[in-house]
Structure 1
């Protein structure tokens, strides 16, 4: 979409997405976002009451695209349920090999806000993680797994643990290993 036809609010949110994801939420100022969006600082505050509200909006804007991407990878994968779950991890590992990949924006934001559990972005991030877990649980239930909620939680733990480990070691193979563990968990679950 040409820059001129996009609203100031969408330009601000796009700039926040790029800067917060690449540099972190605490490292990025409202001035930097305004400059990147081509607006004034006053315009940023016209559309968002505070930086905290903009951080929450940044995460909220990533929620459905991320879940949709996971669902797409699952649907495009061939084979039984366990291989389709592993495919999500394989695709994440492929993404992690891109030089601009910085990990899970939800987890990185949570790490920066760990001392602020009531922050609006923490609520958005928690809701995102719960939506993904609920989707997994529904999928496992539809495939006849006896304890779909427990299995979904195990897969989420593998995924989030792998995200963290890849950031520490800068090695996407941890996502692939987590995918194999998820596949085994799904395969062995009654």
Structure 2
């Protein structure tokens, strides 16, 4: 489906997402989104009551595709669960080496909205991070009942998000590789306790 064939709401979210990624959410005006989407401001506000609603919709639209990409990278990695977790980080390191890489949009948005903890975009980001954590936990313990697996999944999230931040700060993707080694060690340690 071409961009012109997308429903208007989806076309607006796509345009906003490209602008938010390139410039940050605070720097992008609703006028710029309307222009990029090829709609009037009236149409834009028909679909989104406010910029806050648009930002949240943008993150909600990124939730499943981002999680699916993580799952794909894990599934296409070979070896033990620890090796495949390390493979996920290796794919993230590869992505971080691209000149247009700007880190995690959920984290970047949370930084821009740090003083608004109840903002709908913060809630969307929190939900996304929880889904990633739950997915990691399900890999470590398919039954989902193990407290050690839940704790390890939380540690993996900390490594993941910490690596996003440090790689963005230093512009050095090798930090993502280092985080992958640490993540694999955590998973091996969990396996040794069973």
Distance 1:168 1:2 in 2: 35
**Number of the residue aligned with 1:73:** 73
> Where in structure 1 do 4 or more consecutive aligned residues deviate above 3 Å?
143-146
**Number of the residue aligned with 2:175:** 174
Q: What per-residue deviation string (whole Å, max 9, x for no partner) do you get for residues 67-100 of structure 1?
A: 0011111111110010000111000011111122
**Number of the residue aligned with 1:153:** 154
Distance 2:37 2:115 in 1: 29
Distance 1:35 1:122 in 2: 26
Distance 1:62 1:6 in 2: 16
Distance 2:177 2:56 in 1: 30
Distance 2:48 2:147 in 1: 45
Distance 2:136 2:10 in 1: 31
**Number of the residue aligned with 1:25:** 25
Distance 1:107 1:4 in 2: 30
Residue pairs, 1:109-124, within 5 angstroms: 109-124=109-124
Q: What per-residue deviation string (whole Å, max 9, x for no partner) do you get for residues 19-73 of structure 1?
A: 1112110000000001100111111100011000000000001000000011111
Matched residues, number? 190
TM-score (norm: length of structure 1) = 0.96
Q: Say what the alpha-carbon RMSD is for the aligned residues.
A: 1.4
Deviation at 1:7, TM superposition (A): 1.9
TM-score (norm: length of structure 2) = 0.94
**Number of the residue aligned with 2:138:** 138
Structure 1 residue runs without a partner (length 5+): none
Distance 1:44 1:50 in 2: 9
Deviation at 1:3, TM superposition (A): 3.5
Distance 1:66 1:129 in 2: 10
Distance 1:70 1:3 in 2: 25
Distance 2:3 2:152 in 1: 44
Deviation at 1:143, TM superposition (A): 8.9
Residue pairs, 1:65-104, within 5 angstroms: 65-104=65-104
Distance 1:8 1:131 in 2: 28
Distance 1:163 1:5 in 2: 34
